Structure 1
Amino acid sequence: MSERRGVMIRELDRLYEDASYTAQTYFEAAKSADLWGKNVVFLPAVASAVASILVALGEPKQWGAIGAVAGAIAATAAFLGADRKASSLKDTARKFTVLRHAVRLERELSEGRKEEELEQALRGLRDQYDLIVSTNEIVSSRFFRKASKRLKGGVLKYDSDN
């Protein structure tokens, strides 16, 4: 294997790892955003219902004010689409997953390719990665730590990899 081919194969391996970690990071962020989005609508709605029942049962009228505020929070969150962020994060994670699969395929096919073809494929994949990165929001590093733990635990290991 030429030194140039070795460099390109190592870069494919790095790109595969980058896409794997980034996809998992965005999936972790999406799970958190989904939970937050549901809770910011559901919990205030429940609080509003409980406060309304308390007022109906003769408790102090202040419970009505609490119910109104909680209802306004739930309505605002639902109107603004509390689940939109989770959907956007999942979409980004899926893009990185598709890229990860494409990189893996190119890596598997690399042995039979001319160096020029391999370089062209690598540059195209790197451009795809850069495009995804440049058009999406950055997520907290705590999601990267969660993703890293899951990946090291084997979340992407397939039975056929053995």
Structure 2
Amino acid sequence: MALSDNDIAPYAEEMERLKENSLYSAQAYFEAAKFSEAASRLFVFLPALVSAVAGAIIATGGAKVWGVASAVSGAVAATASYLGSDRKSASYRASARRYTGLRHKLAFEIRILAHKETISDVEEVTRALAAEYQGCVAADDPVPNFLYEKARKRINSNIV
């Protein structure tokens, strides 16, 4: 026997809430991945550019102080390159994918809730998906607030 809409309503509402939270979290983490990638590239590129310009100034007879700028900029670029510019970005992207996967699971489970055998089955699925969401939240590095705001604007204007 299929469960009634009244029986599953509180569980469906909770799953819808988790699905919406997953949507916003996924988009925020995708925004963070893009931002982190761009910032990391700048941390490698700009010091390397300063080093190259300072080296060219010295080579054409400029002041020796440019040698210090060249050396420091080169060291910063080398350090940024060594530390890896994609680590944080990859972590954010993996988080976004986890939230996206969870959102798809939630959408599927919401569609089949009424076909579960018992209300206990519905509750079990709801609790498992809520625990999965909480696991994602607990494991992920936080995203800066301005990126959540950017994600919210994209979602609300149907750009995603």
Above 0.5 in TM-score? yes
Alignment match, 2:69: 66
Mapping of residues 13-92 of structure 1, within 5 Å = 13-92=16-95
SS of the equivalent of 1:9 reads: helix
Alignment match, 1:122: 126
Q: Is the 8 A contact 2:28 2:150 kept in 1?
A: yes
Moved over 4 A (4+): none
Equivalent-residue separation in structure 2 for 1:87 and 1:120 (angstroms): 32
SS of the equivalent of 2:85 reads: coil
Counting matched residue pairs gives 156
RMSD over aligned CA atoms reads: 1.3
SS of the equivalent of 2:63 reads: coil
- Which of 134, 138, 142 is the aligned partner of 1:138? 142
SS of the equivalent of 2:132 reads: helix
Alignment match, 1:160: none
Give unmatched runs, 5+ long, in structure 2.
Answer: none
**How many angstroms does 1:3 deviate by?**
3.5
**How many angstroms does 1:2 deviate by?**
4.9
Alignment match, 1:93: 96
**How many angstroms does 1:97 deviate by?**
0.7
TM-score normalised by structure 2 residue count: 0.92
Q: Percent identity?
A: 37
**How many angstroms does 1:6 deviate by?**
0.5
Q: Is the 8 A contact 2:47 2:76 kept in 1?
A: yes
Q: CA offsets, 1:112-141, max 9 Å, x none?
A: 223222221111111111111111111111
TM-score normalised by structure 1 residue count: 0.91
**How many angstroms does 1:5 deviate by?**
0.9
Equivalent-residue separation in structure 1 for 2:159 and 2:126 (angstroms): 25
